[in-house]
Structure 1
Amino acid sequence: MGVLTEGTPLSWNEIVPICQVYRSYALSQLIKVFEKCKDYQGDSFLWGDELEFTLVHFDHSKKRVQLLLEAHEILPRLVETNKETHDDTPSIAWHPEACDYMIEGVPCEPYGFLPSYLNTVEANMTLRRKQAQEILSEQSDCEYVINISVFPRHGQGQFIYSSTQDDSQEVTEQSIYYPDKLISPFHPRMKSIVENTLARSQASPLIHIPIFRDTSTPSPFQDLPFKETKGFRDDHIHLGSILAGKGCCCLQVTFQAQSLTECLQVYDQLLPLTGIMVCLYYLVRISYIHIYFS
């Protein structure tokens, strides 16, 4: 998702009257770009990855790990760090993500088509993590950057760390578990997406996910906080916010093919791998400390 740096997002009431017009503009633009580029050839085959990190705080005395909402503080420092890098050190581009405990690191220069580039990926990922961890370590010896798709206690209890020792979790009326302060202040578009989705549907989103059943799982399993909610289902976990999904981290890979034909060939070759990757990603998923199938 692009980062909105200028202007103000429209509210849903402002979008409705012009919605069809902009759909028409978007479709027209897509057709024109396609007609212009469909026969183009000659670009080098390049690729790159986008790696998202989670910031956490460890309280060893209480044996508690919580999400650390400090992405807005360390991102400017990470950007400055990479302005000062030497020629023999790869530069990293750092970007905000949907939530304030997430940061995204991307190599400034893409990888090439030679197999030797594969040998540089792990070192570059290590450098990204090292840069973020060095800044966190300057602030505290209890703050860490980790790679994890879903924070296990996301939305459960006191899952956000507060440096002021204020354990209150201000939660909007639309969500039982997710406070607005999770949203990144660098990403005004993200907050508008949450607000406009609520305005459009006139209700909080409700996502049903089957519970992972073992010998200790009650039958039926009931996600009690949502029991009075319309659409409630037995034997399911209920996620009641867009942030339940937007707050997940992932690894993304982007390719530049030399032509549309090569692009289609790469797409077809990668397609069989997606099922395997999805199975690995969903091998163990946890929300509200419940394990679920997906």
Structure 2
Amino acid sequence: MTKNFKLFSESIILAAIPALGYWVAFVYELGYFNYFELPRSFIEIALNSVLLNSLSVVSGLFFFFIVFDFIRRAMSGVTEALRYILYRLLFVCFLVFGFGLIFDKPIEQIQVLLFIVATPIIFKDILWPLWSHRHIKGFGNKIAAARKQDLEFDSVTDKLVEKAGIAPFLIVIFIYLFSIFSYLAGGYQANKQEHFLTSKERPSFILVRKYNDKWLSLKVDVVSQEFHETYELIPSDKISVFSNTNIGKLKKRQKDNSTGGSGGGT
């Protein structure tokens, strides 16, 4: 007798949680490293980081479904077609404001970028249906008619949802959003961090992360609060005195004539 394969069986869920925990930790570090323009090949994920992020995945999954259910209930009186458009606009706002905060952009620039990105969606999915389906009465009916016309040509997403069902689709959306959130969190942490681990032996370098038996360090200018494109791998046995130094928020050095980063320490 053959057993039906269950996509969300208990064993698969238990195996997926630590895998997602590792992925979330990696994406967070990726956002942190990319801010300082450090090679991603030096990213190492510790076991305790995987465990902590596994807990965050479980908590985030519950929170995601609570928020999704709240939004769904809040939009109970809205037509399905208009609800789909609002979801897209919320996602665009999440991305634009997230990346804007990471790169420390003024709120005015974030608003301009949001306007540039959101305008095509508003025009195509809201304004254009009001004109193209003007013969239909009711705002929601016009949007629904345009959406129905678009669905005559099924997109890849529509076919996947139809075949797999809504639950797997929501899981994929959760992983995608949580990955973006983790990347943004890593970049935001790098952008806002003011205290850095330093050493007496390398006062002009900050110790970013431990890599094998070495420290991945990045050259900084304490006076101008800028980081260079130069990095070093410093053996751990050459560092004896550590300190937690308040350097302030670091930004990339605008004019750096020094040679690119070195792959090994001295």
Structure 2 length as normaliser, TM-score?
Answer: 0.24
Larger helix proportion of the pair? 2
Specify which structure has the bigger relative contact order, considering alpha-carbon pairs within 8 angstroms and separated by 6 or more residues.
Answer: 1
Please tell me whether Structure 1 or Structure 2 has the larger radius of gyration of its CA atoms: 2
Larger strand proportion of the pair? 1
